[in-house]
Amino acid sequence: RKAGRGSKRYFHNWLRSTAARAIIYVSVDADAFRADLKALMQLGYGLQRLQPFDPEPHRRGVLLVARLELIRPLHGSGD
């Protein structure tokens, strides 16, 4: 995967088909996180919490840990 591109579309579709009620997303690539977050929000997930960490203060970059929850169930799932 290239930096800043996020996950492949087929992974987002597979994840949505599982109807996982919550996702913990961990990323060291803020641009990829932004791309994935946008795609996941379009699939019915909402960002509930985002916590940045700086595990290596002497280096550039930050670790992002996010919790997303399903706010729009799959059509016809009965939820």
pLDDT in tens, 14-44: 888 888 899 999 999 999 999 999 999 998 9
pLDDT in tens, 54-77: 888 888 788 999 999 999 776 655
What's 78's DSSP letter? -
The DSSP line for 5-62 is --S-HHHHHHHHHHT-SEEEEEES-HHHHHHHHHHHHHTTEEEEEEEEE-S-TTSS--
pLDDT in tens, 46-60: 999 999 998 888 887
| Predicted TM-score of the model (pTM) | 0.78
Instruction: Please say whether the beta carbons of 3 and 29 come within 8 A.
Output: yes
At residue 45, the pLDDT reads 93
